[in-house]
Amino acid sequence: MGKMLRKLTTGLLAGTLAVTTLVGCGSPNNASKDKEAASETAAPAEKDAKSSNGAQKLVVWGGVPAESGPQKLVDAWNSQNPDTPAEYVRYVNDESGNTKLDTGLLSGEQIDVFFTYSADLLQKRAESGMLEDLRNFKGDEFVNSEISGGMDAVPQINGGLYSMPTAIETIGILLNQKMLDAKGIKIPENWTMAQFMDIAKQLTGEFDGKKVYGTTVLYSELPLPIAETTLGGDWIYKSDTESNFDHPVFKANAMLKEMITNGSALPYEEVVSRKLAAYSHPAFLNGEIAMMPTAAWMLRYVKDLENFPHDFVTTFAPFPRLDENTPNPYAAVLNNHISMNSKSQNKDKAWEFMQFWVKEASKYVEKAPSWNKANQEEVVKLILGENSEKLFDAEAYKKVMLNPELKYSLVTKTTGLAQVMQIYKDETTKFILDATSEEDYYKNLKTKADAAIQKEVK
Amino acid sequence: MERRKKKYNWEPYVFIAPNFIGFIVFILLPVLFSLGISFTDFDIFKGFSHTSFVGLENFKTMFADEWFWVALKNNILYTAVTIPVTLVISIVLAVVLNNKTYCTNAIRVMIFIPYIASIVAISVVWMMLFNPSQGLINQFLIALGVSNPPGWLGDMQWALPAIMMVGIWMGLGYNTVIYMAGLQGISESLYEAAQIDGASKWQEFIYVTVPMLRNTTFFLVVTSVIASFQVFGTVNIMTNGGPGNATTVLAHYIYVSGFRYYKMGYAASMAWVLLIAIFGVTLLQWKYQKKHESNF
């Protein structure tokens, strides 16, 4: 009997252990299953898909920190739509953050509306059926009447409209006004690579007892986007099956390398060890470089005097063109694409919310809005922030970053894009570090990128 | 019959069940799943309905993929350098710490910390040390009179050695502690006998300590090889495989293929080749060990 009891106790104990362990491991899955079940049946377990006061709820995933505007925008929506409040969830827009979003979408988690920031991912998500075709809601009419550039500037995938841009991301160069003044330099209109090189050289040297380089030549881990601003969104493609690296505009890269060699640009080793290859604002705001490539969203760092204290005014210039005869107007991208989950249970409300975001973002989100009726003065005020005269040359900002003559860079081809970008990055690094000659650099780029594209075509 | 029945004890199975079920659900099934998808063109966007079976296509692609070979070469180099260097330094450290030193425990803790510290923190600190103009290492080299110190992480030649240095540093603590445990098992009488024969300290080390630590060394070699073929964290954080492909290793390339190029099938097939390679190397090591055991 005693033996029996012992056995029974042991068994029970082990069984409990097993169950608790499994429950511990499995709870996230169960939770999402519950949500799925709730949204499918919408009967007894409604509390997951609905908010606490019993109303429907929209879940919105975006990459912009909630405090940079989205929270205020969502609050505004909630006060007008108490029956369908929205909840903003921030995901980090990097590889792991996007994987998290994709697995969430695939596993049926409640995500009604979400943002995509790259053309490549947008295409993959659209082709996999994750996104609702917004033409079902007359989205094309809305885009044509409300968004700058209309349908011509918006990505369309296999003829469908799967997203709407909510912001205009302009790219350009930030300059340290103090350093320019000290050398009496004025940036010429429509400056060329040769002028850019010359000015970078002049700005190199000692300033306030500190070693200063004219510029850095890497942005987003790639050479400055001279080719992109010249050729537009499909700058790496000559056709659907061929890369474009034999285009003369890529010769700008050899000039950029020359700037590292002659010491007027931040050395590559320095860039890598301080992780400045993607974004170089720490060096710029610390007065180590006089010019820095930028996208509009990066102005938030200039405003962040707590983490990046500095006492100079930042001014703006467009990217230089290869030469006088090669205009480069493609410095603006319609981005921050808002999409609807094709499995959303609240599609009508989600569509309403998306329109609300497009129109209202200009009041809350610190980005140039895609909405064509936004009040520009208010936008400038919101983006440059308080004390803007101490930090920014507002006139230069309007002239360069909100230049109405800029053309939208629209990506329509994405075959093997990630691989080609990797090749571009690697080969350029080897070239900068003198591991390949200039001739081999362009030859390798072309052959390797062509091979990568053709591999994906078959 | 009665006896046989009694012999069957089910309690132990119940006790290991929680762990075993966890192993099945979170390791075994995903591993088998990865074997399955390694013969397909699966990616998370396609889902299963659009995935097609491609046979050995992924493996064929792999052998023609320049990146795969570069990654494998870097992996082999990494293993071939870090393991011997780590073992030699840690055996010396263990002997020194085992004998007369002050603050043995404090030193032991100090060299063990890298083994348990967060790899992200380690990488960030080393990136500062490797900074070409302001980093401690180059400042030190300049003070020693080196006029043109390496650019480390941004240098095609020095990036991999830099990653190796961090790997060695991280491995020292664990290896030293295991060696110190091994040293406890060597009988004092062997040293006494050696002393009577007139052996010097060096000879004691070479002819007594090192051979007696053979089993410990074997254990460390096997586990280190397995671990070093999977090096990922330091590479991902410090160099992201660059400059160019100077520090691309297999685990990193598998990650890039799966999560940047969205080729899960291809990534899974490379992971299996990596697994088979590690398994093969480990088998060889066992064989070698057995052969030498018999001579002992």
Residues B19 and B103 occupy one common structural domain:
no
* Same-domain status, B119 and B266: yes
- Chain A residues whose beta carbon lies within 8 Å of the beta carbon of residue B154: 267-273, 433
Segment B148-182, tens digit of pLDDT: 888 898 888 999 999 999 999 999 989 999 999 99
Query: Residue B167 domain-assigned?
Result: yes
Q: A40 vs B40, which has greater pLDDT?
A: B40
For A18-38, b/e burial (b = at least 16 CB within 10 A) is beeeeeeeeeeeeebeebbbb
Q: How far apart are alpha carbons B83 and B72 in whole angstroms?
A: 16
H or E, element range at B252: helix B250-259
Nearest CA in chain B to A122: B45
pLDDT bin (cut points 50, 70, 90) of residue A331 is: very high
The rounded distance, in Å, linking the Cα atoms of A391 and B19 is: 59
Number of domains in chain B: 2
Alpha-carbon distance values, B5 to B1, B2, B10 (Å): 6, 5, 11
Inside any domain, residue B40: no
Does residue B51 belong to any structural domain of this protein?
A: no
What are the tens digits of pLDDT across the range A241-266?
Answer: 999 999 999 999 999 999 999 999 99
Q: Do residue B214 and residue B70 come from a single domain?
A: yes
- Name the nearest CA neighbour of A231 among A321, A163, A295, A301: A321
Mean pLDDT for A316-333 is: 93
Helix (H, G, I), strand (E, B) or coil at A212: strand
pLDDT: which is higher, A12 or B39: B39
- How close, in Å, is residue B257 to chain A by CA atoms? 9
pLDDT tens, position by position, A52-83 = 444 489 999 999 889 888 999 999 999 999 99
The residue-averaged pLDDT of A335-348 equals 92
The H-or-E segment that residue A142 falls in is helix A139-146
What are the pLDDT digits (tens) for A77-127? 999 999 999 999 999 988 889 989 998 998 889 999 999 998 888 988 998
Q: Is B258 in the A-facing interface, judged by CB distances under 8 Å?
A: no
Whether residue A36 has pLDDT greater than 60 = no
According to the model, what pLDDT value does residue A376 have?
Answer: 84
Residue A19 pLDDT > 60, yes or no?
A: no
| CA distances in angstroms from A156 to A163, B47, B102, B263, listed in the order given | 8, 22, 71, 24
Q: Is residue B248 less than 8 Å (CB to CB) from chain A?
A: no
More confident residue, A30 or A287: A287
CB B282 within 8 A of CB B225: yes
B46 shares contact with chain A (CB less than 8 Å): yes
Provide the percentage of residues in chain A whose pLDDT is more than 70.
Answer: 88
Count Cα neighbours of A195 within 13 Å in the Cβ-side half-sphere: 16
- Asked whether residue B83 falls in the same domain as residue B160, the answer is yes
B132 and B12 in a single domain? The answer is no
* pLDDT tier at A451, thresholds 50, 70, 90: very high
Confidence bin at B3 (pLDDT 50/70/90)? low
Same domain membership, residue B216 and residue B263: yes
pLDDT interval class at A11 (50, 70, 90)? low
**Which chain A residue is nearest to residue B240, measuring alpha carbons?**
A272
Chain A residues touching chain B at CB-CB below 8 Å: 7, 10-11, 14-15, 17-18, 21-22, 25, 95-96, 99, 102-103, 106, 124-125, 127-128, 130, 267-275, 418-419, 422, 425-427, 429-430, 433, 435
Task: Tell me the count of A-B CB pairs closer than 8 A.
Answer: 106
Q: Quick check: A176 pLDDT over 90?
A: yes
**Cα angle for residues B44, A153, A369 (degrees, 5° grid):** 90
Residue B179 domain-assigned? yes
Task: Return the sign of the alpha-carbon dihedral for residues A218, A220, A222, A228.
Answer: negative
* Fold of the domain built from segment(s) A58-168+333-383: D-Maltodextrin-Binding Protein; domain 2 (3.40.190)
Query: Which of A10-24, A229-243, B238-252 has the least mean pLDDT?
Result: A10-24
Asked if residue B41 belongs to a domain, the reply is no
Q: Do B47 and A128 touch (CB under 8 A)?
A: yes
In the three-class reduction of DSSP (H, G, I as helix; E, B as strand; rest coil), residue A304 is classed as coil
**Same domain (yes/no): B116, B242:** yes
Identify the domain containing residue B22 by its residue range. Answer: 1-33
In a domain, B54, yes or no: no
- Residues B203 and B105 both lie in one domain: yes
3-state helix, strand, coil in chain B (%, to 5): 75, 0, 25
Q: Alpha-carbon distance A290 to A259, whole Å?
A: 14
Read off the pLDDT of each residue in A368-389 and give the average, rounded to a whole number: 86
Those residues with Cβ within 8 angstroms of residue A8's Cβ, 6 or more apart along the chain or in another chain: none
- What integer pLDDT is reported at residue A1 of this predicted model? 45
Cβ contact B152–A269 (<8 Å):
yes
Q: Which of A212, A272, A419, A445 to mutate to test the interface with B (most CBs of B within 10 A)?
A: A272
Among A93, A95, A105, CA closest to A169 = A93
- The nearest CA of chain B is from the CA of A124 a distance in Å of 7
B256 contact A CB<8A: yes
Contacts of B14 in chain A (CB under 8 A): 10-11, 14-15, 18
Q: Is the CB of B218 inside 8 Å of chain A's CB atoms? A: no
CB contact under 8 A, A11 and B151: no
Tell me, yes or no, if B14 comes closer than 8 A to chain A by beta carbon: yes
φ, ψ at B228 (rounded to 5°): -70, -25
Residues B28 and B72 in one domain: no
Task: Tell me, yes or no, whether B46 lies in a domain.
Answer: no
Quote the CA–CA distance of A326 and A196 in Å, as a whole number.
15
- Decide if B154 touches A, using CB distance below 8 A: yes
pLDDT of residue B47: 74
Chain A closest-CA separation from residue B261 CA (Å): 6
CATH number reported for the structural domain that contains residue B289 in this entry? 1.10.3720.10
CA distance A364 to A358: 11
Report yes or no: A233 and A330 within 8 Å, Cβ to Cβ.
yes
Domain assignment present for residue B263? The answer is yes
More confident site: A214 or A379: A214
Question: Do residues B110 and B249 share a domain?
Answer: yes
Looking at the fold, whether B176 and B271 belong to one and the same domain comes out as yes
Residue B41 to chain A, least CA–CA distance (Å) = 12
Q: Return the closest-CA partner of residue B151 out of A428, A433, A435.
A: A433
Chain B environment of A128 (Cβ under 8 Å): 45-47
Tokens encoding B265: 């099938």
Same domain, B28 and B78: no
